[in-house]
């Protein structure tokens, strides 16, 4: 038991006596993994917001009103007809009062605009949620010539645009995370290698005194592991501190949610810390290889 304790103590003493080298390695891990975790969180934010869009109303049918000779009964009749279609999951009727309430909610920050708008000018509508959103064009075509219909807005066009954008963002975020993770390993390897290079005479002396390769290696491994864990831990703390601030910023915009679920975040954080430790070990292994020839 003496030896493992001795080797662990050796690593801690080495770190204590080389604060600049340790700080360099920890910062290298910290910067790379903060960006990597940031990219993972960004990817999740994009996914969450895409799901929200996909869960919303896919097709909105704006209806003509009494001025055009269209009655409430016609509105209800049309809604019932649409609800029977195979491709439709559900329908919701929003009358003029409901439309005005929604308008007030959306433009809550623009009271002047709300004052200018006459509730009677806002049309009633039928909100349709599709069971298969890829068929939104068929639904639009079937509705457009109905006498009670003023216009049809398909969220599908927006969805298609957003879907393309979010796929791009997701792939970009994933790519960024992978690049940052690879950069972390390279940076740690380089930093540990420089640390060992600076102490190559020391390694030579240890060998002269009869220290075996593992006896020399293990404190460096522990050092790399601790530096990796410390850097990754700092990265997690940093992103965890940014999260509430980001969520608050996101809450100001109705349609966007700039936060991720706690479970998602802490699971990824645990993986990141594990990765930091492994990257530290890998860095030490790569860094030591050259200096341990007998």
Partner 1 sequence: MIRLQDVTKIYDGGTVAVSDVALDIPKGEFVFLVGPSGSGKSTLIRLLLREEETTRGKIWVAGKDITKLPSWKVPYLRRTVGTVFQDFKLLPQKTVGENVAFALEVIGRPRTVVHTQVSQVLELVGLDGKAERFPHQLSGGEQQRVSVARAFVNRPPILLCDEPTGNLDPGTSVGIMRLLDRINRTGTTVVMATHDHAIVDAMRRRVVALDNGMVTRDQHTGRYEEGPSQ
* Residues at the interface with partner 1 (CB under 8 A): 2-3, 6, 13-14, 17-18, 199, 201-202, 204-213, 215, 294
CA gap 128, 130 in Å, rounded: 6
Residue/partner pairs of 21-26 with CB below 8 Å, 24 or more apart: 21/191, 21/194, 21/195, 21/198, 22/223, 22/227, 24/191, 24/194, 24/195, 25/188, 25/191, 25/192, 25/195, 25/224, 25/227, 25/231, 25/280, 25/283, 26/227, 26/230, 26/231, 26/234
* Contact of 269 with 37, CB cutoff 8 Å: yes
Spatial neighbors of 290 by CB under 8 A, at least 6 apart, are: 193
Q: Please identify, using beta-carbon distances, which residue of 112 and 208 lies nearer to partner 1.
A: 208
Sign of CA dihedral 237, 242, 245, 251: negative
- In angstroms, the CA 56 to CA 1 distance is 62
Give the end-to-end CA distance of the chain in Å, rounded to a whole number. Answer: 27
> Which CB atom, from 64 or from 217, has the smaller least distance to partner 1?
217
- State how far the Cα of 269 lies from the Cα of 262, in Å rounded to an integer: 10
Shortest distance, position 273 Cβ to partner 1, whole Å: 29
CA-to-CA dists, residue 287 to 1, 4, 22, 135, 189, angstroms: 27, 22, 14, 57, 6
Residue closer to partner 1 by CB (options 18, 54) is 18
Task: Characterize 135-166 residue by residue with b for buried, 16 or more Cβ atoms within 10 angstroms of its Cβ, and e for exposed.
Answer: bbeebbeebeebebbeebebbbeebeebeeeb
């Amino acid at each position: 038991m003496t030896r493992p304790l001795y080797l662990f103590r050796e690593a801690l003493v080495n770190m204590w006596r080389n604060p600049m080298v340790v700080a360099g390695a920890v910062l290298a891990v910290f910067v790379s993994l903060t960006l990597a975790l940031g990219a993972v969180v960004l990817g999740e934010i994009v996914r969450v917001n895409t799901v929200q869009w996909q869960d919303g109303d896919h097709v909105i049918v704006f209806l003509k009103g009494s001025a055009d000779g269209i009655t409430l009964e016609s509105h209800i009749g049309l809604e019932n007809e649409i609800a029977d279609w195979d491709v439709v999951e559900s329908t919701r009727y929003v009358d003029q009062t409901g439309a005005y309430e929604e308008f007030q909610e959306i433009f809550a920050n623009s009271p002047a605009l709300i004052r200018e708008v006459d509730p009677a000018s806002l049309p009633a509508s039928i909100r349709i949620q599709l069971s298969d959103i890829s068929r939104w064009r068929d639904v639009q075509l079937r509705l457009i010539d109905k006498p009670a219909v003023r216009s049809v807005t398909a969220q599908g066009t927006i969805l298609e645009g957003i879907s393309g954008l979010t796929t791009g963002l997701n792939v970009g975020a994933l790519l960024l995370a992978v690049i940052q993770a690879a950069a972390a390993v390279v940076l740690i390897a380089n930093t540990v290698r420089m640390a060992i290079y600076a102490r190559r005479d020391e390694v030579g002396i240890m060998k002269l005194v009869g220290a075996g390769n593992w006896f020399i290696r293990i404190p460096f491994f522990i050092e790399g592991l601790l530096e990796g864990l410390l850097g990754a831990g700092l990265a997690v703390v940093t992103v965890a501190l940014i999260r509430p601030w980001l969520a608050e910023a996101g809450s100001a915009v109705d349609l966007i949610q700039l936060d991720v679920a706690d479970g998602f975040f802490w699971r990824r954080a645990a993986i990141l810390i594990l990765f930091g430790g492994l990257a530290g070990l890998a860095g030490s292994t790569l860094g030591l290889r050259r200096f341990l020839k007998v």
